[in-house]
Amino acid sequence: MISSVSDIIPRKFRKRTIGVIFTILLRALLNFAGLALLIPILALILDSGNITPQSCLGRIYNSLGFESYDSFTIAVCLGITLFTIAKCLAGLWLYRIERDYIHSLYKYLSERLFVKYHNRGMSFIKGSNSAILARNVNVVCLAFVTGVLKPLASMASELLLLLLLFSAVAVYSPPTALFIVVIFLPTVWLYYRLVRNRLNRYGTEENDAQRRKARTVAETFRGYADIEIGNAFPQMMRRFEDAMRSVIRVRAKNAMVAMLPQIFTEVGLVAGMSALVIVNLRLGSDDLRLLFGILAVAAIRLMPSVRNIMYGWASIRYNLYTTDVLREADIKDDDICYDTSDDRFRFARTIEVRDVSFRFDDAAEDTLHDLSLSIGKGERVGIRGESGVGKTTLFNLLLGFYSPTRGTISIDGEPLTDDNRRKWQNSIGYVSQNVFITDSTIAANIALADDPENIDRQRLEQVLIAADLKHFVDTLPHGVDTSIGEAGNRLSGGQRQRIGIARALYKDCDVLFFDEATSSLDNRTEANINEAIRRLSEHNKQLTIVVIAHRESSLEYCDRIITLTDKKQRSI
């Protein structure tokens, strides 16, 4: 288990980890000192005869010049109280160091996992469930640091304190140490035997159930219209309830297990101290009364330590599934590597596709095979073909989302690679059939890459006019600063497409790609969008437009049409 956890800790956190271990050691020593100082108070209460010239208390009494037992007792209690206050404040400061370490590591792991998933590209994202990826980024990383690392640190501190306390008690009173072993060792062993295999299974079961629940909720809201018309919500609700029942069942089992440490330690302590009382009744020894008092004081701190160790171990076992998720992602030493460059690939001549083939990892044959074509600067090119011939795949290759299995794609003679993909994507615009809309304002959706305070309002006004959105925006209560709801649910299909066009124009793209952008629109709206695109092209002769469409009407303004058939192409 320790090796699984250490494999996840990034190299840059190793030095901080050593520092945190030191704070854990220091906290344990402070707690031990605080408890050890209770022994003098106990000795004064139980037997003032402990203040002999040869005893530690006696030497302190004489060296400080006390003249009465009462004043010495008050001074000892006051000193121990002040030390305890200082110890608690120091403990809070040390705990803050540990807390900051835990939170920094959570931030690091969550950010790296988010970037890692992003950088795996479209094939990975399309092949994964977005609800599960989101849960891994938002929940699993937090569960790892709070449910594994934090209890591990707490266990280390409590184990060290327990060792120090036991050693001190063993030196001061071996019979008391023996009683502690008799009380707590069977308790811990029995608890371990009862729950060791259950907790890990409970954690895995809950994670699976939470994933099913999150997936069901996401799919229900994403497919609301189809689910509602198909009367499928009862079925989705049954899936949700089944996952929820699993979560509740596992949580209930875990809650019962979480109660066991307190029950076990309390029963063990009461049984041990009861046995000591019975022995004392039989023997009537003053030594046994002192032994009882020492055991009582030790138990004040020992019992919570034992209980916390058991709680921590249970939490680690319950959340151990997180180590599998994070180890699989392999993010421990990744930097946040994503290209934030604004550099552009200024398209000047031609886009060349030469003998390009592409096959998905799990496919038996190529989606595209030996495809060659060229697109000139300022051309309006249409791409059509039956479903399944690879039109969208070709677009994803041209957009840089996929890399060819064979062949090359070049821009002005320079091959498109991972190294210059960001520059190329900074130079192009993309309008899909389902334009991506964030839950924010029209302005923020058009200037998608800009912070709200950095939006170029003058340029925003220009693209609203060019995309034929100005009249619509002027009717809104807050103009371009009007919120349009999640996924643009307050917009019509044509308005969403125009926002997509305005977004591409705002970034001053050299090439504008349309992927079935009007296929879901009615004939009148499609004609209006196509007319807007035609006007854009006539206004800017240098703008290259590439369109995928099924309808001939959507390609009427194109200079040339490329028809894909049987994974090959011909131009007309």
How confident is the model over 464-487, as pLDDT tens digits? 888 888 888 888 888 888 887 665
CA 200, chain centre distance (Å): 20
The rounded distance, in Å, linking the Cα atoms of 153 and 22 is 11
Cα–Cα distance measured from residue 112 to residue 120, given in angstroms and rounded to the nearest whole number: 12
Instruction: Compute the average pLDDT of residues 171-193.
Output: 69
Q: Is the pLDDT of residue 517 over 90?
A: no
Residue 416 has pLDDT above 70, yes or no: yes
572 confidence band (pLDDT: 50, 70, 90): very low
What are the structural domains of the chain? 2-329 (1.20.1560.10), 350-571 (3.40.50.300)
* 484/491 Cα distance (integer angstroms): 7
Answer yes or no: are the C-beta atoms of 149 and 140 closer than 8 Å.
no
pLDDT digit string, tens, across residues 59-94: 666 666 666 666 766 777 777 788 888 888 888 888
* 3-class secondary structure per residue, 459-510: HHHHHHHHCCCHHHHHCCCCHHHCECCHHHCCCCHHHHHHHHHHHHHHCCCC
- In this predicted structure, the answer to whether residue 378 has a pLDDT above a threshold of 50 is yes
For residue 352, what pLDDT band results from cuts at 50, 70 and 90?
very high
This prediction has a pTM of: 0.69
Over residues 487-512, mean pLDDT: 80
The Cα–Cα gap between 331 and 319 comes to: 19
Q: Mean pLDDT over all residues of the chain?
A: 77
- The values of phi and psi at residue 374, to 5°, are -140, 150
Higher pLDDT, 364 or 286: 364
CB 84 within 8 A of CB 36: no
pLDDT tens digits for range 264-317: 666 666 666 666 566 655 555 555 555 566 666 666 666 677 777 777 877 887
Q: What is the DSSP letter of 149?
A: I
| 211, 215, 222, 524 from 129: Cα distances, Å | 10, 8, 13, 36
Amino acid at 425: Q
The per-residue pLDDT for 407 is 92
pLDDT bracket for residue 571 (50, 70, 90): very low
Q: 395-417: buried (b, 16+ CB within 10 Å) or exposed (e) per residue?
A: bbbbbbbbebbebebebeeeebe
Q: What is the mean pLDDT of residues 510-526?
A: 71
Q: Which helix (H) or strand (E) holds 188?
A: helix 174-195
Q: How many CB atoms lie within 10 A of CB 392?
A: 17
The one-letter code for the residue type at 222 is R
**Highest-scoring range by mean pLDDT, 225-239, 260-274, 339-353, 373-387:** 373-387
Q: Is the pLDDT of residue 6 over 80?
A: no
- Residue 99's pLDDT is 83
SS3 state at 46: helix
Query: What is the Cα–Cα distance from 526 to 34, expressed in whole angstroms?
Result: 79
